Amino acid sequence: MAETIFSRILRGELPCHKVYEDDKVLAFLDIMPLSRGHLLVIPKEPAETVDQLSDESAAAIGRVLPRLARAVMKVSGATAYNILQNNGAPAHQAVFHVHFHIIPKLGADGLGIGWKSGRLDGADGAALAGEMAAAL
């Protein structure tokens, strides 16, 4: 995996406002927050996208996400928030080291989402679910 700004933060070469750290996970404030309290949660394991992450690192992040979300809500005062996780440049990933955003929704501040939904066709749904289950 290519070097990223987050690798340098993990090595302590660049500063961050650290909120949480354990042997597998680091959480720090986003430098360009969408709202006050916008937090980034990253694995220490080098992986560009979630599909490349080990079960152990994924579990470590999953274990701490609820606690971090509670801290973000308590300190920001938000009662709503988004957890966003982008994979690949077309999906708006800018830093190619896995990261989860916890973004408080504070009035107009926070994540804005364009959500152009379709309608799942029953036959296609059955085919898709079957193919995905077989691909696991």
Is residue 99 annotated as part of the catalytic site, yes or no?
yes
Provide the minimum distance between the beta carbon of 26 and ligand 5GP in the complex, in angstroms, as a whole number: 11
Distance CA 1, CA 48 (A): 7
Alpha helices in the chain (DSSP H): 5-10, 55-76, 122-135
- One-letter amino acid identity for 78? A
Q: Which is nearer to ligand 5GP, 88 or 121 (CB)?
A: 88
Provide the minimum distance between the beta carbon of 136 and ligand 5GP in the complex, in angstroms, as a whole number: 25
Q: Which is nearer to ligand 5GP, 89 or 108 (CB)?
A: 89
Q: How far is CA 19 from CA 33, 39, 60, 63, in A?
A: 15, 8, 16, 16
Distance CA 14, CA 37 (A): 20
Q: Which is nearer to ligand 5GP, 108 or 136 (CB)?
A: 108
Question: Residue 95 in contact with residue 85, Cβ under 8 Å?
Answer: no
Provide the minimum distance between the beta carbon of 70 and ligand 5GP in the complex, in angstroms, as a whole number: 21
The footprint of ligand 5GP (CB under 6 A) covers: 5, 16, 28-32, 86, 92-95
Q: Which is nearer to ligand 5GP, 40 or 60 (CB)?
A: 40
Bridge-based pairing of strands 18-21 and 81-84 is unpaired
Choosing from 38, 97, 99, 101, the catalytic residue is 99
Provide the minimum distance between the beta carbon of 91 and ligand 5GP in the complex, in angstroms, as a whole number: 8
- Point out the residues that are catalytic: 99
